[in-house]
Chain A
């Protein structure tokens, strides 16, 4: 009888141990996946803070610089604001470009009632990934001073909306290669992407556009280099080869 019980219990124990180990494996895998997601979320927050800081503190961006080369942190030069609003209507300025995310900045003056007053300056990406093609987004702001003249420096706020999406990632990788290619530092780069929609390229406007599955809305971004790209006709995972040739990016 003892021996028969042992025959039953041992296999059951074995099965249970296997099940437990599977649960353990799944749990570890799930935690790892969650950690990756959390990491992305952290990157979005820190990426936005970085963009705000670079915009407000770098002379290459908006920080005011005197004739003696002194740079005023968080004091934005109105001439640079006007210039950026004009020059970067649809794309992020190089001085604060993130090749992982897309962002748009809005700068406005605030009055005594904390409401926006006077002029508003905006620049950066005009459109972002939507629906399933958008993984994360955040809107953060930072106080700034807007220097209209020596005698007139007004309080303001700078808001940055940053989006982590498939369109931004692909466009970022292409623009990154374009920048490095122009400097002769890199000519080829592989890129893997999972898309939740179709991607097409508008040669005339130099727009890369993503249409999420089930949506009629097309989201487009202006590109730095002209592309040779037939697009991605359906959702799914793609391994792309990006190549810089004569000022153009060839994507296969």
Chain B
């Protein structure tokens, strides 16, 4: 009986062993197939993500024709997601351009891109517009003597600054021996240039309603608009910090009212032309995202005297006496309006010391530090509970000679 029981037990053990073997075979086979299949599927997904990242950086943006790689490099150089390519192309928002492309390739909320912006000081480009009425004779002399050296000093410090001075139409002789024009008065350097605004008038579209373009020697509203549209001599660099500077002691177009040059500012007067010119300047600066800094000259300065009054005898007649003085407050207000609307600032000359005007310009350049973002970040936050794939791409940062790392994370 014992022997038979052992036989039955023996069979049962054999049966259990065989069933165990069958189950193990199935388990391991299914398990290994499942793992291999998911590895294959994962390989495809990874290749898909890699292909997407590879291709997206070579795609071009329609308006600028630049590749996404270049745009990210430019944005990293600028420390800004929006790059301004000047008046004809306008702004290109790198975040938006990347966003719709990555959405199209991976689907919304399935990706994240981050690229660190390196700490870089970009070039500074300045366009300056100088009122060319006789009361600006002092400024012409100052700028001629000091500006090229000032710009060179920045360059020597390793900060690439370029400035183009546009002088409004005029050309009058000054009693200090200068003329209100560029010719033969300014040392041209690779970094500083002087041009008459009429030289660029044809290439800017700031024609007034009258079709007169820049109307007077004080029309710095239309003047700065024209200077922004045409750009500096070396042309706008999309990567630079761009600044506009206006130097004047009058309202744009002029402070005269009722055609009476001696009447001075008229209380309650509308000054429609002046306002129109100011707004043309503001509009152009806003469109190109260029802040305008205004420098208000001390009214009608005599180099020997610091108060309002007669400057000197020019030609056959005496210059107007009280016009600029009477309009001081209104000019200040116009300058404030222009500066605040464009993100710039206003300066008023404190003295007639030889370095005062260039000191103000120096302050503007020193303060021209762009607000830099620490990095470019697009897409949804990376989920912690999902399987993610990360692709790393090295993006050359324009001009700087350094690379930044773009990390693209994708998940299903």
Residues of A bordering B, CB below 8 Å: 2, 5-6, 9-10, 13, 16-17, 20-21, 23-24, 27-28, 31, 34-35, 38, 41-42, 45-46, 48-49, 52-53, 56, 72-75, 110-112, 114, 140-145, 147, 150-157
For B105, the chain A residues whose CB sits under 8 A away are 110, 143, 155, 157
Given A38-B36, A38-B37, A53-B51, 10 other A-B residues pairs in contact with their CB atoms under 8 A:
A2-B4, A9-B7, A13-B8, A20-B18, A24-B18, A38-B33, A42-B40, A112-B100, A142-B48, A142-B51
A27 with B22: CB separation less than 8 A: yes
Task: Tell me if B's interface is mostly helix, strand, loop or mixed.
Answer: helix
For B103, the chain A residues whose CB sits under 8 A away are 112, 114
B 57-78 to A, binary, CB cutoff 8 A, 1 in contact else 0? 0111010010100000000000
Q: How far is the CA of A16 from the CA of B10 in the complex (A)?
A: 12
- The residue that B44 contacts in the complex, of A20, A34, A48, with Cβ under 8 A, is A48
For B14, the chain A residues whose CB sits under 8 A away are 17, 20
For A156, the chain B residues whose CB sits under 8 A away are 55
User: Lowest 8 CB-CB distances: which A-B pairs, in order?
Assistant: A151-B65, A145-B55, A143-B52, A143-B105, A74-B55, A74-B54, A38-B33, A153-B60
B234 nearest CB across to chain A (Å): 23
- The residue that A35 contacts in the complex, of B29, B55, B56, B58, with Cβ under 8 A, is B29
A-B contact count (CB 8 A): 123
B26 with A16: CB separation less than 8 A: no
A45 with B65: CB separation less than 8 A: no
- Closest Cβ neighbor of A48 among chain B residues: B44
List 5 A–B pairs whose Cβ atoms lie within 8 Å, in order of A's numbering. Answer: A9-B7, A24-B21, A28-B25, A38-B36, A144-B55
- The residue that A72 contacts in the complex, of B22, B29, B58, with Cβ under 8 A, is B58
- Given the known A-B contacts A114-B103, A155-B104, are A9 and B4 also in contact in the complex, defined by CB atoms under 8 Å? yes
- Given the known A-B contacts A27-B22, A155-B59, are A49 and B43 also in contact in the complex, defined by CB atoms under 8 Å? yes
Which of B8, B11, B15, B51 gathers the greatest number of chain A CB atoms within 10 Å?
Answer: B51
For A48, the chain B residues whose CB sits under 8 A away are 44
B64 nearest CB across to chain A (Å): 9
How many residues on chain B are close to A (CB under 8 Å)? Answer: 42
- Given the known A-B contacts A46-B40, A49-B43, are A153 and B48 also in contact in the complex, defined by CB atoms under 8 Å? no
Residues of B bordering A, CB below 8 Å: 1, 3-4, 7-8, 10-11, 14-15, 18, 21-22, 25-26, 29, 33, 36-37, 40-41, 43-44, 47-48, 51-52, 54-56, 58-60, 62, 65, 67, 100-101, 103-107
Q: How far is the CA of A21 from the CA of B17 in the complex (A)?
A: 11
B411 nearest CB across to chain A (Å): 15
For B106, the chain A residues whose CB sits under 8 A away are 143
For A49, the chain B residues whose CB sits under 8 A away are 40, 43-44, 47
- Given the known A-B contacts A9-B7, A28-B25, A155-B101, are A143 and B51 also in contact in the complex, defined by CB atoms under 8 Å? yes
- Closest Cβ neighbor of A14 among chain B residues: B11
Q: How far is the CA of A156 from the CA of B7 in the complex (A)?
A: 71
For A140, the chain B residues whose CB sits under 8 A away are 44
B104 with A110: CB separation less than 8 A: yes
For A34, the chain B residues whose CB sits under 8 A away are 29, 33
Q: How far is the CA of A74 from the CA of B37 in the complex (A)?
A: 25
Which of B21, B33, B106, B107 gathers the greatest number of chain A CB atoms within 10 Å?
Answer: B33
For A150, the chain B residues whose CB sits under 8 A away are 65
